[in-house]
Chains A and B, each alone.
Chain A
């Protein structure tokens, strides 16, 4: 199979015609978002160029600590993103649980995936490690943000129920169970739904990339199936850890509900 057609610079610049089109439309409509659009497009361009050069040198050096360092950096950004995307107040204990579940819930599947499923040697091979970690962390980030927000809101909305169960002698675990289950469902449902449409409604980005770069679609789907399961595992594990420890952050040492 042919390898990928390289895009010449002037042809890439031609793609910016779509941006110009958007600017003309917003200007005509009088929406007043021109400045934001230009800044966003500029940031996208610069960030990707920088990332391109960074990845080229990271792939060349291919050192364990660099791979792990990038992994850590991605975790930091993901966790910050979770905090800022949740619109309600997150208590300190729950913040800690979020960090813990992200690290453990994404770390285990990433290493399992690299070592057992793809069997990369060495396991920190940057060309595999970084994109796979990125996909797993990015998806778990969305899942945990959904789950944590649902957990906080659920505890508030079902406050009387939870307290009522405590009055009947329930342990915090039993009292919070309905809220926890609901939050877990909310967090994993989008992933389950996206698996249903996969291959029919849309072709996932990783698979498209591989096909464009000349990989056989049959190999590309192998990777896609494997990464999809890896993402599913990571989201389940991350959200499960979040729920197992997260509900406790709403109770004090006397098993009283504190919101």
Chain B
């Protein structure tokens, strides 16, 4: 899905050769400041590398229309973004920004149920807890059904059991729909449990690539 060739971004990240496969779950682990988020942002052209090339489906990312790319390769930032308005407004924000057809109430409620978020669609989103906001943001990008999910520590605000549930549901969804998932995680356990490919970064370089069997699903 993605191929890196001699990529350098400032003195934050340097990757000579890397392939991120399609239709799989790739986990990125590493200490803070090792360049994980930078790597993720290079994949949807929210950052552009200073040297080298990154290919998406064989095409140079720098030459693709960035907005169209980001509608296929959707990113979830580490701090969930909550817009002023209701739970429904926030669920629909992704479809709205990506100019995709909006969906109706039942589908939205089903999506919330999937993430075990028992909230009324008319509820003020600003009043949700940190963990609820994070799950709301996950629901939002699932509704968009993009080709690729880029997740920057999607469950950092959740407790362990909710975290496991949220990630399982998300990966299950991606597999059902034949989507690609690239996820930064602070937890090596999660990476080992769900990652089919585990990339370890250290000081902006790849210090390890591990392929693993599918342990889930």
Contacts and interface: CB of A to CB of B under 8 A. Distances in A.
Interface residues of A, number: 16
Given A170-B67, A254-B62, A254-B66, A165 B97 contact: yes
Interface in B158-184: none
A160 B77 CA distance: 9
B83 A254 contact: no
A194 interface: no
B37 to A, nearest CB: 12
Given A160-B77, A160-B81, A169 B62 contact: no
B66 A167 contact: no
B47 interface: yes
Given A161-B81, A161-B83, A256-B66, A168 B74 contact: yes
A85 interface: no
B71 interface: yes
Interface string A124-165: 000000000000000000000000000000000000110111
B77 A169 contact: no
The interface size bin for chain B is 20 to 34
A166 B46 contact: yes
Residue from B47, B68, B77, B97 whose CB has the most chain A CB atoms within 10 Å: B97
Contact of A256 (B47, B74, B83, B98): B47
A contact patch SS? helix
B48 A168 contact: no
A168 B66 contact: no
B46 A168 contact: no
A147 B93 CA distance: 27
A174 B62 CA distance: 22
A165 B97 CA distance: 7
A175 B97 contact: yes
Contacts of B62: 254
Interface string A166-189: 111111001100000000000000
5 contacts: A160-B77, A160-B81, A165-B97, A167-B77, A256-B66
Interface of A: 160-161, 163-171, 174-175, 254-256
